Amino acid sequence: MGVQPTPPPGSGALGEAQQRSPTSYTTDYMRDFILNTLDQVTIFSKYFGIPEDVIRFNISSPNDRIRNPLRNDKHPSLSFNIMVIN
């Protein structure tokens, strides 16, 4: 007998639990844990290396711009907005 082909995702041939890899579950769990534990400002502060108070001021002042630390930003162009995640 030959090897049976794996049906495509969403075809209904396998249950949803069988289609998702263990890594996918771990990733989903970690994402939910981080988003439920940490404030968005804290996450961006750590990622960009910008103090939280600077980000909070930028959020409250729509015309305020910050130099983007990910590139050589001669003119400040980075700003933050709060997004609600449901």
Nearest alpha carbon to residue 76 among 54, 44, 43: 54
Instruction: State the amino acid at position 52 in one-letter form.
Output: E
Joined tokens for residue 27:
């990733």
Give strand pairing partners of 66: 78
Residues 17-33 have pLDDT tens digits of 556 666 677 788 888 88
Could you give the angle at the alpha carbon of 56 between the alpha carbons of 82 and 42, nearest 5°? 75
**Residue 12: predicted pLDDT:** 52
**Residue 65: predicted pLDDT:** 94
State CA 22 to chain mean position distance.
Answer: 19
For all residues of the chain together, what is the average pLDDT? 80
What is the model's pTM? Answer: 0.61
Mean pLDDT throughout 1-30? 62
Rounded Cα distance, 48 and 85, in Å: 21
